A and B are shown apart, each in its own frame.
Chain A
């Protein structure tokens, strides 16, 4: 297992290296830069001033030099500064990264805790009322724009309770309840899509697994329905769900960006959107790379989890 993980991590390294090149080129080759975006500001009035500014920001260097500077910085822990504000990226990321990760992790937890039982119930009671209700949730959930849901939730809490969640990051270790209060609504909003997806998948795999011979064996032992469903069917039904849901974390990460904008939370997504409007290359490329890294690590985690649950998979 450790050898397998080491191998996978190395492979991830290469993938992320590729990602960094793609992002870097994307950011440089498309028209416009931070200097254009902030034209109208004092320094950049004249074209001479603009060139000087580009020079100062390192934007005039040849592309390979710029790329190597960036990657070297990442490797040594020097993330550089925001080209727009001059603030060190490490400052910005020290709140943005934990904030976004927390929303995503909370979202996944909600999705699994609600989606799995709903899917099981739907499969076991296939064709009954609860199944139709479950399937309706599954269908609507994947069609619901998360940012609209977030908007509606804000509307609801502010008009009913005169309360909106705080738009700052509250440290979960000093004020766990305050932290949860601020993040539970955003997490709920991004969870809905994955919840619906998990529900649909669990229902489908469960229906398949319930027809398996080993489920009949469990019944033949005299096991009660509960045991048959949970101990024998569910574990097998969850296997394919693990991998597919890990892939859907990508959707979660992207919708987090939108949700952060709605709730005004200073997370990675908000940072990225600001960076895009400012053409702040340093912010865009580093944040995008971080999002990709998170995504890829989640998938690695899912693969390891899969191997832990399924004894037939040998990690080598």
Chain B
């Protein structure tokens, strides 16, 4: 993995519950190289967002335990003191969230909210930070940025607010942007605009993007590489083309079958994966997907390792070439 910007190895996240610690994210390996877009895909409850929060160090240390390593440009973030991590957040790595409506502070002007981030990380005065905020508003395509900077969040639409969130995230030119379902809460037409904006800015600022989504359509349009998550684990990881053309994990295949295709006839009912994602703590032993998998067989009661074919990884016994030979 040459010039990997972010390397996540064996990431474990457990939450404190009434009965003890419950593992929510297990043994996640992930790399993001400089300038590329990696998508993390999965249904809700698969642990995508928790992974993202862990990468930002935003999980409450009293309620969550994080293990493994998160290396950013050679430094293991998990070893950092809180004070050092504050210098990384918003500076080297920035994040935008799913809910633009509630992610901005309602009692502060948006210009001040953007300027705050600049002031936290750069040696500039308030005036310069204010000017930078206006530039950033312009960069994310907000008309009349000078005036808009003095607005409060409730005066903006959802799409506008997400643009403001992006402006905050980009204020210190991060090397990595983590976007957690940035378009889920927005109208369809706005969704495309926001994704386009992220893509455009990624190229312009040469940053890497880790995009978290449940929407394979978004993946197809934006990703260089994809990791599919299910029940706290990454079950398949591949180049975007390989994943769509030759999915190796039955879960990925099911997700692909569940996408409505343009031009498909209405007579055929849309495919839906039977059952639901098991909640953490109720995950089956062995392959987590087995109870919902139409290919499940006896081997699936054992936990499958990741089988690799080149850069294409899948955690499924069907990909065990030795087993096929044995059979």
Contacts and interface: CB of A to CB of B under 8 A. Distances in A.
Q: Do A and B touch (CB < 8 Å)?
A: yes
Interface of A: 212-214, 216-225, 227, 231-232, 235-236, 239, 309-312
26 contacts: A213-B97, A214-B103, A214-B104, A216-B103, A217-B97, A217-B105, A217-B168, A218-B105, A219-B58, A220-B58, A220-B94, A221-B94, A222-B90, A222-B120, A222-B121, A223-B120, A224-B83, A224-B86, A225-B82, A231-B116, A236-B105, A236-B106, A239-B107, A309-B107, A311-B107, A312-B106
A222 B106 contact: no
B154 A311 contact: yes
Nearest to B53: A216
B134 interface: no
Contacts of A217: 97, 103-105, 165, 168
A122 to B, nearest CB: 15
A114 B106 CA distance: 26
Contacts of B198: none
A221 B89 contact: yes
A56 B106 CA distance: 63
A311 B106 contact: yes
Contacts of A232: 105, 108
B89 A219 contact: yes
B90 A220 contact: yes
A220 B107 contact: no
A216 B89 CA distance: 12
B106 A213 contact: no
B140 interface: no
Interface of B: 56, 58, 82-83, 86-91, 94-95, 97, 99, 102-108, 116-117, 120-121, 152, 154, 165, 168-169
Nearest to B58: A219
Contacts of B154: 311-312
Contacts of A223: 86, 90, 116, 120
Main secondary structure of the interface of A (DSSP, over half): helix
Given A213-B97, A214-B106, 17 more contacts: A217-B103, A217-B165, A218-B105, A219-B89, A220-B89, A220-B90, A220-B94, A221-B94, A222-B88, A224-B86, A231-B116, A236-B105, A236-B106, A239-B107, A310-B106, A311-B106, A312-B106
A227 B120 CA distance: 10
B311 to A, nearest CB: 31
B108 to A, nearest CB: 8
A221 B152 contact: no
Contacts of B90: 220-223
A225 B105 CA distance: 16
Contacts of A239: 107
Nearest 7 interchain pairs by C-beta: A222-B90, A222-B89, A221-B90, A213-B102, A311-B152, A214-B105, A221-B117
A47 B70 CA distance: 97
Residue of A212, A218, A225 with most chain B CB atoms under a 10 A cut-off: A218
Contacts of B104: 214, 217
Contacts of A227: 120
A303 B313 CA distance: 61
Residue of A213, A216, A220, A309 with most chain B CB atoms under a 10 A cut-off: A220
B107 A221 contact: no
A312 B97 CA distance: 22
Contacts of B87: 222
Residue of A216, A221, A223, A227 with most chain B CB atoms under a 10 A cut-off: A221
Contacts of A310: 106-107
Nearest to A216: B58
A310 to B, nearest CB: 6
A216 B97 contact: yes
A221 B105 contact: no
B49 to A, nearest CB: 11
Contacts of B117: 221-222
A227 B95 CA distance: 18
A235 B165 CA distance: 20
A312 B105 CA distance: 11
Residue of A217, A227, A312 with most chain B CB atoms under a 10 A cut-off: A217
Nearest to A232: B105
A222 B90 CA distance: 5
